[in-house]
Amino acid sequence: MSIVQETVAPPTPAVPLAALLSREDLALRQITGPPAAEVAVHWAHTSEMADPYPYLLGGELLLTAGVHIPSGAGTEGYFDAYVARIVAAGGAALGFGVAPVHDTVPPALVAACEAYGLPLVEVPPQTTFSGVARAVWQLMARARLAELRRVSEAQRQLAAAASRPDPVPSVLRRLATRLDGRAVLYGPEGAEIAAAGREPADEVRGALAKLARFVTSRASTTATDTVAGTRLAAYALGTGEGFVLGVAAPQRESGDHTIASVAAVLLSLLTGEHQSGTGAARSSALVRLLLGAAPAEVAPLLGGDRWRVVHGRPEGRTAPDPVAASALGAALGSSLVDVAGERVRVLVPDGRAVERVPGWTLGVSATAAPRDWPAADTQAARALARARATRAPLLRHGDRQTALTDLVPPAEADAHARALLAPLERSPALVETLRTWLSLHGSWDRTAVALDVHRNTVRQRIARCAALLDTDLDDPDVRMELWFALRTP
């Protein structure tokens, strides 16, 4: 098959198949397929299904003892279809256990794997599948630890370079050394302001400059390419002035993107607000707020009169740290960043586009004047909750209410909403649960994800809402009326 399922790689480094084959305690043997050093294994999965495709995410070492193999003649076609489905699902390799079902690896299976280019590994009788899986996770844990140490050390060195008297050249030199390549800072007009590292070929140099111009002319804040075997990456610095960090490296190792992103954040600070004078303006705005000025009075000092609030949460279970929060702010083109528990809040001027940021789930408010920032903050929080529940990378709050609300005078709509929801007014948790549950079409599981509670808690709260409101929440008319009330400001 020519269509291959997209691999959903976990947030851990892959394990080369060669590393598993080198384990003497496993005694694995590769029978066919490309060189093991070129095969990346993201996880191990055991299945005796005749068609494992629906259960594979991609990147697996699929382990089987051949229980599913039919007896009798004509198995060539069976093996061809079986291997084709594994390849279509993005499987990395197939591990076949000899004994207790089969004494040897079926020759027809070997031929099919060879035809499709799927690595085939023989698992000896003394090696259990759980032992192979455990070895995969052990190797992944070691690789992850090595990656974290490498990134941590790079962060320390880059921060030290930023504190030198010549911070920009120092950061570029340190980054080029860590990536064993070239690091370039481009100015607003696309000219090289500073560079460090090995001088690349003219073809690569021109392609990197072109990539830098691409991120300044488009909404994208990062871009990558490969030219003449060299990996290229461009990072638009979050200064709003058109500065770009360009990186060219002969190969891309795990953690390189994180290291380059840290350098981009530091360069954003070095070339951004403190250089342009806006840093003083923002300090003045903060002082005025602390001394009692209204947000509307200080908003012009921050860069605009209309804003959007963005709530972001990193993928996985890792809470954001200041470096990650600054990187998100840089990607969104704003240094007005706040870390609030497991979320990051960013205040973005209305003129800047808010697009997807890899590795983050985002909720975006409608545009708001400073006096409406608290309401926009609530909108962004709800949009983020819905985005997480629906597994969307970014969701925006509508800029306007539904047409129905335009037909009802605001005072009457507010009075109706207050009367309808009066039995719940003493329990904000019930109100928010009902709002989220209705917005997600009554899904218990997605509501639980959005609110970070157990699905049974959602059921109990909705049942309590139904009892207090004395109504049938399965009635679509009731749901519509409640949704109208909950949407009333």
Instruction: Give the separation between CA 245 and CA 119, rounded to whole angstroms.
Output: 39
Bridge partners, 244 (sequence order) = 186, 236
**Residue ranges per domain, the chain?**
15-138, 164-275, 302-396, 403-487
Q: Give the strands of the sheet with 29-32, arranged side by side.
A: 29-32, 120-123, 93-97, 60-64, 43-46
**Sole residue written with tokens 């995410």:** 57
**Overall fold of domain 15-138:** 3.40.1390
Instruction: Give the separation between CA 267 and CA 486, rounded to whole angstroms.
Output: 45
Q: Which residues of 452-483 are buried (b: 16+ CB within 10 A; e: fewer)?
A: eeeeebbeebbebbeeebebebeeeeebeebb
CATH architecture of 403-487: Orthogonal Bundle (1.10)
CATH of region 164-275, choose from 3.30.450.30, 1.10.10.10, 2.102.10.10, 3.30.300.30: 3.30.450.30
Which value, in Å, is the radius of gyration of the alpha carbons in the chain?
Answer: 28
Name the residue type at position 471.
Answer: T
**Overall fold of domain 302-396:** Alpha-Beta Plaits (3.30.70)
| CB distance 313 to 329 below 8 Å | no
Q: How many CB atoms lie within 10 A of CB 394?
A: 18
Q: pLDDT tens for residues 430-467?
A: 989 998 998 888 889 889 888 888 989 999 999 999 88
| CB distance 42 to 59 below 8 Å | yes
pLDDT of residue 399: 44
Average pLDDT over residues 113-129: 95
Give φ, ψ of 12 to 5 degrees.
-135, 150
Instruction: Give the separation between CA 194 and CA 181, rounded to whole angstroms.
Output: 14
DSSP conformation class of 310: E
Average pLDDT over residues 390-394: 86
pLDDT of residue 488: 65
HSE (side-chain half, CA atoms, 13 Å) at 51:
5
Q: pLDDT tens for residues 475-485?
A: 888 888 888 88
Which pLDDT band, with edges at 50, 70 and 90, does 408 fall under? Answer: low
Q: Do domains 164-275 and 403-487 have the same CATH topology?
A: no
Whether pLDDT at 267 is above 70: yes
pLDDT of residue 57: 86
